[in-house]
Structure 1
Amino acid sequence: MKLTPQELYTKLVDEDKIIGEKAEINFSLKNLIISIESRDTVGNLLQEWLKAWMMKEKIEFEENTNSQIFPDFYLDTHNKKIDLLEVKTFDYQNGPGFDLANFDSYCNSLLVNAYRIDSDYLIFAYEMNGSVITIKNVWLKKIWELSGPSGPYPIKVQEKKHIIYNIRPSVWYSERARFKPFSTKEEFLSALNETRYQYPPTRHVNGHWLQNVLKNYEEHTGISLDVK
């Protein structure tokens, strides 16, 4: 069964009612079973569960053989430019602390694979009590619906000792958040471009970056974007 990311989300959330479900994390070795109360394993376990669920439901997908390379899953196994799915998880009480993408790698990838900007992020928010996790919410979002501005730069990033490492999410689900997520992919690209101009290591090589990304996007999709 071939599903788009939106159809997969609908099946998972509306049909299978995943929100509110509970899971217990245990580890067994030589007849000794222990309860796992560390959050370190939750993300990988939820992604493995999603993979098993898709197999059980006979949903077509292909898993990326390199877990360090985007995306986690291809939902269209014949056209790997569309229906790309990345899975993220976070502790609902602590807020989204995951990375959307490595800053340099993402910017460079858009020069050759600009269609990546249309990828979907499936995000699980969980609450953990002891070894039991509860799924508090699930979202399906584009990167521009997760990313937003911040104080130092036009886009929120993780920066250490004046070096930008990763693009970080805003608190997109909060009405009280100071910085709201972007409304369009054009806003996101504009903020990314302005950040590259402000960031010293990319400032002097950024002259044609946006122009080349837009050209590559049109070559892959046939769609011309207007980014100011």
Structure 2
Amino acid sequence: MKLTAEELYTKLVSENNFIGQKGKITFELMNITLEVNTKDTVGNLIQEWIKSWMIKEKIEFQDPPSTQKFPDFQLDLSDNTKGLLEIKCFDYDASANFDIAAFLAYRRSLLKHPFRLDSDYLIIGYAMDGTDVIIKDVWLKKVWEICGPSGKWALNCNVKQGELTNVRPIKWYNNQRTTFKPFNSALEFIEAFDSNQRQWARTSRDAITSTWKKLVISGYKKSTGKDLI
């Protein structure tokens, strides 16, 4: 069964009542089984559960060539520029502090694959209650719908000793408790990304930065047939 990301979201959330479901993590060795209450592996296990659920539901998908490749799942098997689905999980009682992508790697990727901006992010917020894993909420978003500025940067990123490491989301799901709002378009996201690389000393004067935004915008038009807006 071929589904778009929107149809998959509807099937998972509306038809299968995914929100509110409870699960447990167990480990068995030498006839001893224990229930795990640590959060360290929850995100990876939920992603594996999503994969098993898609197999059970006979939903068409393809894994990336390696576990380090983008995306997590390809839903369109006939066109590798479409149906790009990433799975992200976070502790709903804390904050959405997952990494979207390494800043420099994402910069290179958008030059080569500007259609990546159309990727969908299936984001799952979970909570732990003892050994129970509870699905609190689920979103389907584009990258620019979960990203926004921070106090010092046009695009919120994890910064270590002045170095940009990873693009990070803002708290898109609770506008009442955050100062910064998500971007309104993919173009706003690209402009903020460009502002970061022009502000960061490591990339401010390199050759890639000088033409990056122009090339991504024109490349997006060429690969999708759409203007980046």
Normalised to the residue count of structure 2, the TM-score between the two structures is 0.97
Tell me, what secondary structure is at the counterpart of 1:20? Answer: coil
Give the aligned residue type for 2:219. N
Question: d(CA) in 2 for partners of 1:101 and 1:34?
Answer: 34
1:141 matched to 2:144? The reply is no
> Cα deviation per residue 1:148-198 (whole Å; 9 max; x = unaligned)?
000111000000011110000000011221101101001101101111111
Question: d(CA) in 2 for partners of 1:147 and 1:163?
Answer: 19
Deviation, 1:83, is 1.0
Q: How many residues align?
A: 226
Could you tell me which of 214, 218, 223 is aligned with 1:215?
218
Structure 2 unmatched runs, 5+: none
1:153 matched to 2:156? The reply is no
Give the equivalent residue in structure 2 for 1:130: 130
Aligned pairs (5 A) from 1:96-115: 96-115=96-115
Question: d(CA) in 2 for partners of 1:87 and 1:43?
Answer: 9
Deviation, 1:69, is 1.6
Question: d(CA) in 2 for partners of 1:149 and 1:114?
Answer: 21
Give the equivalent residue in structure 1 for 2:204: 203
Deviation, 1:223, is 1.6
Question: d(CA) in 2 for partners of 1:17 and 1:224?
Answer: 36
C-alpha contact (below 8 Å) 1:26/1:131 kept by paired residues: no
Aligned pairs (5 A) from 1:174-213: 174-175=174-175, 176-205=177-206, 206-213=209-216
C-alpha contact (below 8 Å) 1:121/1:143 kept by paired residues: yes
Aligned pairs (5 A) from 1:58-77: 58-77=58-77
Higher mean C-alpha deviation, range 64-73 or range 182-191: 64-73
Structure 1 unmatched runs, 5+: none
Q: Percent identity?
A: 46
Give the aligned residue type for 2:47. Q
Give the equivalent residue in structure 2 for 1:85: 85
Aligned-pair RMSD on alpha carbons?
Answer: 0.9
Give the equivalent residue in structure 2 for 1:170: 170
Question: d(CA) in 2 for partners of 1:180 and 1:133?
Answer: 29
Normalised to the residue count of structure 1, the TM-score between the two structures is 0.97
Question: d(CA) in 1 for partners of 2:96 and 2:65?
Answer: 26
Give the aligned residue type for 1:113. H
Question: d(CA) in 2 for partners of 1:218 and 1:97?
Answer: 31
Question: d(CA) in 2 for partners of 1:225 and 1:119?
Answer: 14
Write out the 4+ residue segments of structure 1 that deviate beyond 6 Å after TM superposition: none
> Cα deviation per residue 1:19-76 (whole Å; 9 max; x = unaligned)?
0000011111111001111111101110111001001111000011412121100000
Tell me, what secondary structure is at the counterpart of 2:41? Answer: helix
Question: d(CA) in 1 for partners of 2:162 and 2:150?
Answer: 15
Tell me, what secondary structure is at the counterpart of 1:97? Answer: coil
